[in-house]
A = this chain, B = another copy of it.
Amino acid sequence: MKARVTVTLKNGVLDPQGKAIEGSLAALGFSGIEGVRQGKVFDLELTSTSKEKADEEIKAMCEKLLANTVIENYAVEML
Query: Could you tell me which A residues sit within 8 Å of B by CB distance?
Result: 6, 8, 18, 21, 24-25, 28, 30, 32-48, 57, 60-61, 64-66
Contact = CB atoms under 8 A, between A and B. Distances in A.
In the A-B complex, the 7 residue pairs with the closest CB atoms: A35-B45, A32-B47, A34-B45, A39-B41, A37-B43, A41-B41, A32-B48
A36 B44 contact: yes
Contacts of A64: 28
Contact of A35 (B18, B32, B44, B61): B44
B61 A45 contact: no
Given A6-B41, A28-B64, A34 B47 contact: yes
Contacts of A44: 33, 35-36
